[in-house]
Structures are given as C-alpha cells and as structure tokens.
Amino acid sequence: MCLGIPMQIVAIDGYNARCTAKGVMRDVSLFLLQDEPLAVNDYVIVHVGYAIQKMTEQEAHSTWELLDEMLALEAGEADAAESS
C-alpha cells in the first residue's frame, strides 16, 4: 500500500496535476506538496493519487528501471505459481 511511483508533471491546474509515467497518464493531487515550488516537467513520487515528494529526473528514471525489473520478477513468480 505504501508503494510509490515516480511520475512526471505534464500540466498543473491549482492543486491538481496531470502526470505521466512511461506513457500512463494520471490525475494527481499536489495538495501535500503545496509549499514546494513545482513546475511542468518536474518529477514527483505518487502514492494513492497524491504526490508526496519531489525527485530528480535521474532518480525517477533509475526508480522506473528498478521497478520494471521487480515487476518482471513478480510476473515470472506469478507464472511459476500458477503452473505449479
């Protein structure tokens, strides 16, 4: 439940932002980061629809890569579990 996904801000409207992660678009609340200067193209980590912290582009990309590896592992495990 405490998993967070790095996303890039595409558009900002008040406390709401349109964000993207590897082609997936989501509406994200910036309410918890309202005291942080945020701009389009910035990266944030998103948990249950809320941005909880800013991060750098490099950190976002390396986290995506590592999450991808994890998901691939989990998919593999799930297949193995199904067929066992």
Partner 1 sequence: MTLTAQDWLDKIRALPPTRRVRIMNVCGGHERSITMAGLRTALPANIELIPGPGCPVCVCPEEDVYQAMQLALRANVVLVAFGDMLRVPVNVAKGEPRSLEQAKAAGADVRPIASPREAVLIARQHPQRQVVFFAAGFETTTAPVAAMLLEGVPENLFVLLSGRLTWPAVAMLLDSDTPGFDALVAPGHVATIMGPEEWAFVVEKHHMPAAVAGFTPLSLLAATYSVLRQLLEGECFLDNCYPEVVRPGGNRTAQAQLMQALHIVDANWRGIGIIPASGYALNAQFAAHDARIRFADFDTAARKHAGQMPPGCDCARVVLGRIYPNQCKLYGAACTPRTPIGPCMVSDEGACRIWWAGGIRERATGTVPP
Give 10 or 32: the residue with its C-beta nearer to partner 1.
32
Q: Which helix (H) or strand (E) holds 75?
A: helix 57-83
Token pair 């008040």 in the structure block, residue: 14
Residue 39: what residue type? A
**38 sits near partner 1 (criterion: CB under 8 A):** no
Least distance from partner 1 to the Cβ atom of residue 2, Å = 4
| Residues paired with 12 in a beta bridge | 17
Q: What is the dihedral of CA 58, 1, 14, 60, to 10 degrees?
A: 0
Among 22, 36, 40, 57, which residue interacts with partner 1 (rule: CB under 8 A)? 36
Which of 21, 45 has the CB closer to partner 1? 45
> In 3-state terms, what secondary structure has residue 12?
strand
Residue ranges binding partner 1 (CB under 8 A): 1-4, 15, 27, 29, 31-36, 45, 47-50, 52-56, 59, 63, 66-67, 70, 73-74, 77-78, 80-81, 84
